[in-house]
Amino acid sequence: MSATMYKNGISKVVHNREIRAAKEAGWTFSPEKAKVTLTANKPTKQKISVGEVEVKVIEPTTETDDLLGPEDLNKEGD
Residue 10: inside a domain: yes
Total count of domains within the chain: 1
Residue 26 has a pLDDT of: 85
Looking at per-residue pLDDT, the higher value among 77 and 20 belongs to 20
Residue 67 has a pLDDT of: 58
Residue 6: inside a domain: yes
Residue 8: inside a domain: yes
Segment 23-52, tens digit of pLDDT = 888 888 887 776 666 777 777 788 888 888
Which element (helix H / strand E) includes 24? helix 19-24
Q: Which domain holds residue 20?
A: 1-33
What does pTM read for this prediction?
0.41
Residue 9 has a pLDDT of: 78
- pLDDT, mean over the chain: 78
User: Are the C-beta atoms of residues 6 and 28 closer than 8 Å to each other?
Assistant: yes
